[in-house]
Structure 1
Amino acid sequence: MAIQHFPLKLVSRRMLAPTVGHYTFVRGDGAPLDFIPGQFIQVHFHYADGTATKRSYSLATIHDHALSPGEAVEIAVSYVPGGAATALFEGLEDGGQIDASGPFGRFCLMPADANRRYLLIGTGTGVTPYRAMLPQIEKLIAERGIEVVLLFGARTPEELLYGDEFRAFADAHSAFRFVPCFSRELPADPHPDVRHGYVQQFLDEFSPSDSDIAYLCGNPNMVDACFESLKGHGLPVPQIRREKYISNK
């Protein structure tokens, strides 16, 4: 898959959480964006002193095919106080353009996988690639009878990105469990699968084994803690796929 450089034109934005925006773009050159769910794009811009820089954003677009010309390209953007990228996105008007390249990355479901279950573990915007994977997951449940557990860590209910979408998917697919883990406060009427604490505290509950494949995406401390825990449960390192998210200003 060729890496391309292309303009993205803003179509709309909405707030997912107090400090996270969901941005919908189309390619400004009219071409489609061919990507595999789990991949990311890079956004290129300049600091005030003219120095070139870039930021990486996982694609949140739900799709199971190459995007057609004019089809949405979606990302989730964390706002960092005083951040240059935050200023870029907050100042972007509808119809405004940014410079992007990609797709990049191998944090994807693999066609050769023969596992019994996927353990998808994320915090913050690290859950974005799992949203993009939902059509693939639906297909794998139907074709291969796999099970999926999504453990998603957030501080509070208002920071649970795409939570309603994941809950609706879980309600429609008995083989998919959505387990939100709140470190600070619980919702008023929590679902039975809601947990109070950090995602790494609840891995043991799901008895990881070498028949699982795990994906870890988000806070580096969470990724490292879950990586060590999963190895302790007997998962071979190639069956633990990792992507760390570090907030850059």
Structure 2
Amino acid sequence: MSFHTGPAVAIQHFPLKLVSRRMLAPSVGHYTFVRDDGQPLDFIPGQFIQVHFQYADGTATKRSYSLATIHDHALGPGEAVEIAVSYVPGGAATALFEGLEAGGHVDASGPFGRFCLMPTDANARYLLIATGTGVTPYRAMLPQLEAQIRERGVRVVLLFGARNTDELLYGDEFRAFAGKYPDHFRFVPCFSRELPAPDSPHAHADVRHGYVQQFLDEFAPDATGDIAYLCGNPNMVDACFEALKGHGLPVPQVRREKYVSSK
């Protein structure tokens, strides 16, 4: 993973108890945990946790998951710990999560990472670009983006690559946010394989057919006003990074995190 310099939060080690799970896509589950030591998990949206477990032979291993949690400050920070888990056929982590029932536990540590919105940002627009579960940190950022829209009128474009509507993770939430702030937030799903049916709620003017990197030029990246975030498939991240540099964005204005599937 690649990170930019940002705020620090104390790293902790803690047990997580599963509260619920639901399927976001045929091979992606949304898991809601609580810390089972009575403490909140105070984190900055964009950070991730690591889940620790063992292979069948007893060898210790771990997997990283971006936090999808939307803080409810009325309840206090970190009431829930939410992550999106991609299922990999034959994967050890997949077996762990598929076999986890409500009330079951995993061992976790964190938070880690600096893939976060910065309080010093004075940009006019954010370009948020993701594929697959790489969109997870942007869900966690929605309250921060809402505050910046209200306080300084920032504009946001979210380009999200998926194969079809079944894999458009958190699509309903992003579409609802775009409906709430139509002048400031554009949600642009890019479907590489199958476009939504005309009567689908996912069918709207900002839907594109192809890969996210094909449509970046359409939004005219601007070094004087844009900060870009890239999260997901390494090939997409690299292609968009080069394209943004071609538009003149300096490296500090392009913040990256690559997701690599592990068994």
Scaled by the length of structure 1, the TM-score of the pair is 0.98
Residue in 2 aligned with 1:217?
231
Separation in structure 1 between the aligned mates of residue 119 and residue 190 of structure 2, nearest angstrom:
29
- Per-residue CA deviation, residues 40-97 of structure 1 (Å, 9 max, x unaligned), is 0000000000000000000000126597388111000000000000000000011000
Alpha-carbon distance in 2 for matches of 1:69, 1:169: 22
Cα distance 1:3–1:228, how it changes in 2: closer, same or farther (>3 A)? same
Identify the residue that residue 80 of structure 1 maps to in structure 2.
88
**CA shift digits 1:88-127 (9 cap, x unpaired):** 0000011000000000000000000111100000000000
Deviation of 1:157 after TM superposition, in Å, equals 0.7
Secondary structure (helix, strand or coil) at the match of 1:227 reads helix
Match 1:188 to one of 176, 185, 197: 197
- 2:185 matched to 1:168? no
Where in structure 2 are the equivalents of 1:2-21 lying within 5 Å?
Answer: 2-21=10-29
Distance, in Å, in 2 between the alignment partners of 1:57 and 1:17 is 16
Q: Distance in 2 between matches of 1:32 and 1:139?
A: 23
What is the root-mean-square deviation of aligned Cα atoms in Å? Answer: 1.3
What is the DSSP-based 3-state SS (H/G/I as helix, E as strand, rest coil) of the residue aligned with 1:135?
helix
Rounded to whole Å, the distance in 2 between the matches of 1:72 and 1:13 is 12
Residue 242 in structure 1 maps to residue 251 in structure 2: no
Pair 1:23-2:31 in alignment: yes
Q: Does 1:55 align with 2:69?
A: no
Q: Which amino acid aligns with 1:150?
A: L
After TM superposition, which residue ranges in structure 1, 4 or more long, deviate above 3 angstroms? 64-70
TM-score, normalised with respect to structure 2:
0.93
The question of 1:200 aligning with 2:239 is answered no
Task: Return the alpha-carbon distance in structure 2 between the equivalents of residues 66 and 54 of structure 1.
Answer: 32
* Pairs aligned (count): 249
Which residue matches 2:5?
none
Instruction: Return closer, same or farther for 1:234/1:65 CA change in 2, 3 Å cut-off.
Output: farther
Q: Percent identity between the aligned chains?
A: 85
Q: Which runs of 5+ in 1 are unaligned?
A: none
